[in-house]
C-alpha cells in the first residue's frame, strides 16, 4: 500500500477526520472500494446493476469535490447536482450515509436501512450490513480499521471500537470494544477472540 501514513486512523483526536484530501487519495479510495466488493475494475454492467456501489462511487466523488474542489464555482455546482441525484438513490436504497465518515475499502453489502451519524468516524475496510445504525447519544462511536458490522447491529454513544472487530447480527454496542475480538448480544459482549479477518467476512486477498 503506498502512502500508507496518509490513511492512519487515530481514535483519540477529536480533530481527526477520515477523508479524501487530494486526487491521489481519491484514486486510492476508489481502488480499495472496488476490491471490497471483490472487483478489480468497474464495468458498465456492475455500475448499472450494483446500486449500493453506484451510490458509493458518487459519494466518493462528492467527498473529493467537497474537500478538494469546493472553491471552484463550477465544481461546487457539479457537487450539488451529484448530491441531489445521490440523495434520491439513497432514499430508495434506505441509506442515510453522510460524506467524510468512512475510510477506504467500504462495502455496503446490501441495500436496506443504514443510518450513520455525520459526526462518527469509521476506519478503513468497514463491511456493513443493512438494518444497522451508528448513532449519536451523548457522543458518537469512533470505529477502527477492518470492522465488520453484521445485520441489525446498533452502535451508539461516545465509544471506541478497535481494529479487526466483528460485530454480530443484532448486537447492541454501547461500550468500548478492544482490538481483535468478536462481539454479540444485547448489550454486546466478547464472544470470541477471533478477528474479523479470521471470520472470513472479506473477499479473498482483500486484506493481507
CA 112, distance to chain mean position in Å, is 15
Helices (H), 153-207: none
What is the phi/psi pair of residue 46, to 5°? -65, -40
What is the phi/psi pair of residue 36, to 5°? -65, -25
CA distance 85 to 78: 11
Q: What is the pLDDT of residue 18?
A: 64
Q: What is the pLDDT of residue 171?
A: 97
CA distance 23 to 10: 22
Q: What is the pLDDT of residue 184?
A: 96
pLDDT digits (tens, 9 = 90+) for 1-19: 334 333 334 443 333 456 8
Which pTM does this prediction carry? 0.87
Q: What is the pLDDT of residue 70?
A: 85
Q: What is the pLDDT of residue 71?
A: 87
Question: Quick one: CA torsion of 183, 185, 187, 193, rounded to 10 degrees?
Answer: -20
Of 18, 50, 17, the residue nearest 34 (C-alpha): 50
Residue numbers in the chain where pLDDT is lower than 50 = 1-16
pLDDT digits (tens, 9 = 90+) for 161-193: 999 999 999 999 999 999 999 999 999 999 999
What residues contact residue 194 under an 8 Å CB cut-off, 6+ apart? 166, 181, 182
Q: What is the pLDDT of residue 187?
A: 95
Can you spell out the DSSP letters for 108-165? E-SSS-EEE-TT-EE-TT-EE-SSEEEE-SSS--EE-SS-EE-TT-EEESS-EE-TT-
List the domains of the chain with CATH numbers.
Answer: 20-94 (no CATH), 113-192 (2.160.10.10)
Amino acid at each position: 500500500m503506498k502512502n500508507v501514513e496518509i490513511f492512519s486512523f487515530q481514535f483519540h483526536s477529536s480533530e481527526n477526520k477520515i477523508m479524501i484530501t487530494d486526487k491521489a487519495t481519491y484514486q486510492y479510495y476508489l481502488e480499495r472500494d472496488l476490491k471490497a466488493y471483490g472487483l478489480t475494475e468497474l464495468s458498465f454492467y456492475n455500475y448499472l446493476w450494483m446500486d449500493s456501489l453506484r451510490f458509493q462511487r458518487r459519494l466518493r466523488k462528492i467527498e473529493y469535490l467537497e474537500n478538494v474542489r469546493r472553491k471552484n464555482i463550477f465544481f461546487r455546482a457539479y457537487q450539488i447536482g451529484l448530491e441531489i441525484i445521490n440523495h434520491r438513490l439513497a432514499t430508495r436504497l434506505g441509506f442515510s450515509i453522510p460524506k467524510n465518515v468512512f475510510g477506504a475499502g467500504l462495502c455496503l453489502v446490501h441495500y436496506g436501512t443504514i443510518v450513520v451519524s455525520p459526526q462518527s468516524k469509521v476506519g478503513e475496510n468497514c463491511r456493513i450490513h443493512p438494518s444497522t445504525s451508528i448513532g449519536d447519544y451523548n457522543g458518537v462511536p469512533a470505529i477502527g480499521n477492518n470492522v465488520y458490522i453484521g445485520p441489525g447491529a446498533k452502535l451508539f454513544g461516545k465509544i471506541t471500537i478497535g481494529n479487526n472487530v466483528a460485530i454480530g447480527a443484532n448486537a447492541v454496542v454501547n461500550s468500548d470494544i478492544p482490538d481483535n475480538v468478536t462481539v454479540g448480544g444485547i448489550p454486546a459482549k466478547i464472544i470470541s477472540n477471533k478477528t474479523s479477518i479470521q471470520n472470513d467476512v472479506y473477499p479473498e486477498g482483500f486484506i493481507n
